[in-house]
Amino acid sequence: MVYDLIVLGGGPAGYHGAALAGRKGLRTLLLEQKALGGVCLHSGCIPSKTWLQAAKILTHARNGTAYGVKAAELHLDQQAVTARKNKVVRILSAGVKTKLQNAGVEVVAAKGEIQGRDESGFRVKAGAHCYTGKNLLVATGSVPVIPPIPGLEAGLGAGTIKTNAELFDLDHVPASVVVIGGGVIGMEMAAYFSAVGSKVTVIELLDRIGGEIDPEIAGILYDNYRKKGVDFKLNTRVTAVDGQRVQFASPTGDGAVEAELIILSAGRRPLLSGFGLETLRPQMENGRLVVDRGGRTSVPGLYAAGDVNGRSMLAHTAYREAEVCIDCILGGTAEVNYEAIPAVIYTDPEVASVGETAESSARKGLDVQTVKVSMRYSGRYVAEHEGGDGICKLIVARGDRRLLGVHLITEYASELIYGAGLMIDRGLPLDELEKVVFPHPTVSEIIKEAAFQYGSI
């Protein structure tokens, strides 16, 4: 039997693409040697958000006095937090299986290895069987970056250093934590452990935290977590790890810090080896599988979605890329608009962004104007956030007043940023944005307030 589509990998891109293909009538086979759901469901997005919800409840209870609520004898049970995480993962894993079953997708719990391609299609071996598909969707995801730092590999082997792959089975709160890397994952873990009582140190190679977020928002996030007791070492390079001791070098001198737990959060890289991709000789670039906006590789019939193509290593991007791949397989012309992909850091407060920043606009030579509004223009923000210092920024094209970017640091940022992404995707000018009716009181109203303030500049 020849399948219309074989999918390698059961993460967000893989299972979503397979389910969509099945619903569209394509005879689809999905190969996944581990649990369905991928890193996002089992050791990434979902476990971290489950943990962070526990931390948020604890933080709100501790700060309740400012709102007229007093709580005593607060205690976080890490074993219970991890047990609930496991329950959430089981529930969602069952949902993924049901989704694939309902779509008529055949799932084989085995590693897929590409054998080559002939006139019938792509040949993929899994276990003792060899399958053939007219089209092949590579959705193998990514793995943690392990920098060449002395002692790092030994620490990972000994369990004193953990990546996200091992972290979320933790059964106790460590007294101290060092986070290597102050990007998205690193900051979320710093947020959790600082909230539950660990002494947290973040070591970041760059001069700011949060990766490519707006610099001013990165500064506000930095100040928030310094006030919460997190020790940041910016412009700092880890030079060695010796047991529980992390050595570093910075412009102000060398030093070291010891911790019960060391978390490695130095980024992720596409997983391109170990499954025979080289037999097809697709175009590679900078350690990623090159695709166009339709998910097509340089090999006809070979598509790639999710982290493996390295374009936007986010689960929701993977979903959209998979949708576009299936549309193109069916003869469509859909493309991914990478300029309208939202990104979120689930700290407290949350950071959310979509589109251009002032920095990226300058690099591209775009003529833009920025408007910044305090979140205290939002009635709900003031009602729910005592002493908050959040902001919202709009990046607007001067000529046609199109919305090009939105950046916020505030509670609920993750829930409202999709609307900003939609506005950017549709090329909405501020004149049209001002006509949108936002429910009141909501934090989302800040976008309309910023648009009005831009009009008065």
C-alpha to C-alpha distance for 412 and 114, rounded to whole angstroms: 43
Check: CB of residue 190 under 8 Å from CB of residue 265: no
Locate 373 and state its tokens: 């509004």
The torsion angles phi and psi of 25, rounded to 5 degrees, stand at: 95, 5
Nearest residue to 248 via CA among 205, 210, 191, 207: 205
DSSP 8-state assignment for residue 377: G
**Cβ pair 214, 407 in contact under 8 A:** yes
The helix-helix angle for 184-195 and 215-227 (nearest 10°) equals 20
Q: Cα angle at 443 between 400 and 185, to 5 degrees?
A: 90
Find where tokens 């607007």 sit: 396
Core vs surface per residue 108-145: b (16+ CB within 10 A) or e: beebbbbbebeeebbbbbbeeeebbbbbbbbbbbbbbe
The Cβ of residue 252 has, within 10 Å, a number of other Cβ atoms equal to 9
> What 3 state SS string does 128-195 have?
CEEEEEEEEEECCCEEECCCCCCCHHHHHHHCCEECHHHHCCCCCCCCEEEEECCCHHHHHHHHHHHH
Q: In angstroms, rounded to a whole number, what is the distance separating the alpha carbons of residues 30 and 46?
A: 22
Q: Give the integer Cα–Cα distance in Å for 350 and 327.
A: 34
Assigned token pair, 17: 């693409």
| Contacts (Cβ under 8 Å, ≥6 apart) of 161 | 152, 155, 241, 262, 263, 264
Active site residues: 440
CA 394 to chain centre: 22
